[in-house]
Amino acid sequence: MSYNVDFTPQALEDISKLDTVVAERVIKKFDWLSQHFEVITPQPLKGRFQGVYKLVVGDWRVIYTADYANQILTVHLVRHRREVYK
C-alpha cells in the first residue's frame, strides 16, 4: 500500500527552481519512496530537525515528515546538501 504525498508551498517552489533533469529524479525517487515506505527504514534527522526524515537524491536532500496514521508523506524542502541544514 502506498503513502500519499503532499508538498508544502516551499517544497513546490524548491522543485520549480531545479534543473528539469534533477527535478524529475527527485520526483521519481520520492514516488518510489511513497510506494515502498512500509518496507524501508527512513533516515531520521537529529537535533533541531528531530521527527523529520531525509531522502538523498545525489547531492540533493528531500526533507519530509511522515504521518503514519493517515499514510501521508509531506515534503517540506528540496535543497542542495551544502545548504539544507543551515
User: pTM of the predicted model, to two decimals?
Assistant: 0.91
* Domain-embedded: residue 85: no
Distance CA 3, CA 61 (A): 19
- Rounded to whole angstroms, the Cα distance separating 24 from 47 reads 30
- In this predicted structure, the answer to whether residue 69 has a pLDDT above a threshold of 80 is yes
Average the pLDDT over 70-75 and give the result. 96
Give the tens place of pLDDT for each residue, 9-68: 999 999 999 999 999 999 999 999 999 999 999 999 998 889 999 999 999 999 999 999
Domain assignment of residue 35, yes or no: yes
The reply to whether 32 falls in a domain is yes
Q: What is the CATH number of the domain that holds 54?
A: 3.30.2310.20
What pLDDT sits at residue 85? 76
pLDDT, residue 84, reads 84
Quote the DSSP letter at residue 40. Answer: S
Backbone φ and ψ for 2, nearest 5 degrees, come out as -95, 155
Q: Domain of residue 25: give its range.
A: 4-80
